[in-house]
Amino acid sequence: MTRIAVFISGRGSNFMALHENIKKGIIKDAEISVVFSNKEDAKGLDYAKKENIEVIVIPSKDYNNRQEYDKKIVEALKPYNIDLICLAGYMRIVTHELIKAYENKIINIHPALLPSFKGLHAQKQALEYGVKYSGCTVHFVDDGMDSGAIILQKIVEVYDDDTEDTLSERILKQEHIAYSEAVSLITSGKVVINGRKVSIKG
Ligand code: GAR
């Protein structure tokens, strides 16, 4: 059984999709043992409570030092024996404190085809650049921003009349599929990391 911690800062739709797919048996041998948020008012926490998933909130606004903050997270997670951390709309850069405690065990979903359009407002960046295709990327988290080894990507066509909202919505549907696929591959032991390259067994 893979014990997952999902990190959120807001709406939490990727977290919900992961949990629903675990419940349906689409992701096997896994459970979301805890949901972590840096924001007390993150909407996704309501769903966690409704589903009786344990919640940890450490408000990031109370910390000036990112390393100190991440040390607190590592301490708080210890009792849960977490095997995999899924960042799902967690809007903070994680530091080496967290990365060294969970080496190659932290993954993130980003709403663009990395390495293009890192950081905030990726969908708006893609529209403004004028790309014809965008999408989403699930990747391992390393010390850089949105720079870790890529596990999988899904492509979405960009239409002439797209707005940030319409493109984001279309990408989000693919995010929900991509994140569950990536977690399934990891929980079934099929993901092999070799430096920047990730290969999928079978
Ligand atoms: C998602 O689109 C996710 O890819 C993005 O925030 C949204 C969170 O939605 N993450 C980033 O931009 C991280 N750089 P959700 O809270 O409904 O899952």
Q: Taking the CB of residue 108, how many other CB atoms lie within 10 A of it? A: 22
Residues 88, 110: Cα–Cα separation, whole Å: 9
- Average pLDDT value over all residues in the chain: 97
Q: What mean pLDDT do residues 71-87 have? A: 98
Q: Which residues are near ligand 1 (CB < 6 Å)?
A: 8, 10-14, 88-89, 109-111, 122, 172, 175
User: Are the folds of 1-103 and 109-202 the same?
Assistant: yes
* Protein fold of 109-202: Rossmann fold (3.40.50)
DSSP secondary structure letter of residue 118: -
Ligand 1: distance of its center to the CA of 160 in Å? Answer: 23
Q: Please report the atom of ligand 1 found closest to the CA of residue 16.
A: 18
- Which class is 1-103 in CATH? alpha beta
Q: Give SS3 for 4.
A: strand
Range 36-56 average pLDDT: 98
Taking CA atoms only, the protein residue closest to ligand 1 atom 9 is 89
Per-residue pLDDT at 12: 98
pLDDT digits (tens, 9 = 90+) for 159-174: 999 999 999 999 999 9
**Would you name the residues annotated as active-site residues?**
110
Q: How far apart are CA 141 and CA 28, in angstroms?
A: 23
Our mutation pick for probing the ligand 1 site, out of 147, 175, 177, 179, counting the most ligand atoms within 8 A of Cβ, is 175
Q: Does 202 score more than 90 pLDDT?
A: no
Q: Does residue 133 carry a pLDDT above 90?
A: yes
Give the pLDDT of residue 44: 98
Domain range list for the chain: 1-103, 109-202
Helix (H) or strand (E) holding 109: strand 106-110
